[in-house]
Amino acid sequence: MYDVRIPVLVVGGGPVGLATALFCGRHGLRTMVLEKRDDTSTLPRAPGLQARTMELFRAAGLGTDIRALEMGDSHPYFEGGIIKVRTFAEIDDAEVLEVPSLDGPTVSPERVMGCGQDRYEKVLVAKARENGADVRFGTRLVSFEQDADGVTAVVEETATGRRYTVRADYLVGADGASSRTREDLGVQRAGRGTVFNALSVYFRAPELEDLLKDRKFILCYASASGGLMGLSRLHGRDPWLAAPLYFPEKGEKPEDFTDERCVEIVRQAAGRDIGVEIVDKVPWRGAQLVSETFRVGRVFLAGDAAHVHPPAGGFGANTGIHDAHNLAWKLAAVLKGWGTDALLDTYDAERRPLGTAMSEQALVRNRIRHGYATDQDRGDFVDDVIITLGYRYRSGSIVAEPGARVLSPELQLTGEPGTRAPHVWLRRGAEQLSTIDLFWDSYVLLTGPGGGAWAQAAEPVARKLGVPLRSYSVGASEELQPVDRDWAEAYGVGADGAVLVRPDAFVSWRAERLTGDPQEILADVLNRAACQG
């Protein structure tokens, strides 16, 4: 007998674990989340939410709630990019290191947003619970075992020591860089290891705003503090966040950084004897390590448990949330009876190559910002919008010939299988929506005015395979009318072509025109997209 029976057990209640519970709940799956902390984060970590992340929150029904947390318009800070100064008092002489491309009106219906983890975690908890999640703070995973039918976990309430067992169909380890889940699975990691050591220093310094002269930036590096120090700007200034480096090889350790020393470091970086109040200090490592697999049987790894890397680019929490979204719809497909174990295998096939490529890009950015980049590094640099929105999947669920690499040099959202479906504004009656709003809990077949044969074939094919499928016709006189550009051109098809898009908004298959029996073609394509055999 088990004390609790649940379809999905999530270990870790940070942004990735909470997003997993939220997305699963939106697909009708009950989850339990175990988080050893007593509550949500009190520190404004992971403050940059990418356009793709905002798309996922939008699709899950909390985009408005998250956007309401934005303090003013944070977009100009992203546009200000990454800069470097000797001291903050010399902000007029700032050197621009990077001005990343992050979004755009033809790229996404959403924009990047600055918001600390301390604020958006609260919304994720509330919305996850609204969608049926049992989020348990002050609770840790003690051990787990898996068999052919599920996972049995022993968990403990940290305040009382009470232990009980949880039986789940699947377990998701979203428990961070030091993941207990990964360690118990025996999954090894490959990569460069530790690249640098840093200390996040949260502080208040009212005079600092005057020194910066309202200069907009994501991150400002100061070199006058005895070692490069980065000042984050996205989450606001109460408190500020700075990250001085320290060097264990020189005998330095976090305990050496007393409040008094941190105050002096901030003042050196400021170039003025300003008032500084230290709020908190958190040591951390900038490392690059990717797990050799993201799946072992019925257990999956997501977020930092699967891939860690330097924070340059702000890919960490965002990529983990994207992991969660990719996995959630596949778990729902299997637990609802129409997905297969082979579909679950595509989680590793799709997310691990991206995790590796993305972590390499974080390393490239780290070398550029710290001043020791090579010409090869600069040549390897891929713009942020490609890493966050323009990556490509290759797996059994993508009905296309493999070949294109995960990150291409240019952004190519053209409807090619394996890429995120292009964003086109549509009108449906009085409603305006994006094509991205069409994708969530089913496959979607998009056709043009000449695609009636595809639409007629879709319903019987989907019914026979038991796969959820919606069909939409897009055109000037159709149900969905393009507003800003030609839909067929954006998706790379003719008037009688068709595109099959997965629940996660990634294109699985595309036919530029109708050649053959649409029912036979769709039966084969949908069968392969759902990995039914």
Residues with a catalytic annotation lie at 221
Between CA 183 and CA 189, with CA 187 as vertex, the angle to 5 degrees is: 100
Contact (CB, 8 A) for 119 and 46: no
Other CB atoms within a 10 A radius of the CB of residue 456 amount to 12
C-alpha distances out from residue 393 to 309, 354, 437, 477, 520, Å: 21, 8, 20, 34, 25
User: What letters, b where the CB count within 10 A reaches 16 and e where it falls short, cover 503-527?
Assistant: bbbbbbbbbeebeeebbebbbebbb
Angle at 66 between CA 23 and CA 438, to 5 degrees: 50
Helix count and strand count (H, E) for the chain: 15, 25
Paired tokens of 199: 């200390």
Whose CA is closest to 287, among 306, 272, 309? Answer: 309
- Do 310 and 366 contact (CB within 8 A), yes or no? yes
Report how far residue 420's alpha carbon sits from residue 446's, in angstroms, rounded to the nearest whole number. Answer: 14
Instruction: Please state the φ and ψ torsions of residue 43, each to the nearest 5 degrees.
Output: -115, 145
CA 504 – CA 498 distance, rounded (Å) = 18
Who contacts 263 (Cβ-Cβ below 8 Å, separation ≥6)? 203, 276, 278
Q: Give the HSE-up count for residue 411: Cα atoms under 13 Å, Cβ half-sphere.
A: 20
Cα(319)–Cα(358) distance, rounded to whole angstroms? 9
Planar angle of CA 394, 398, 402, nearest 5 degrees: 45
Task: State the DSSP code for 65.
Answer: H
Q: Which residues contact 103 (CB under 8 A, 6 or more apart)?
A: 51, 110, 111, 112, 385, 389
Contact 402, 394 (CB under 8 A): yes
Q: Over the Cα atoms of the chain, what is R_g?
A: 24
How far is residue 35 CA from its own chain's centroid? 20
Burial of 99 (0-12, 13-18, 19+ CB in 10 A): middle
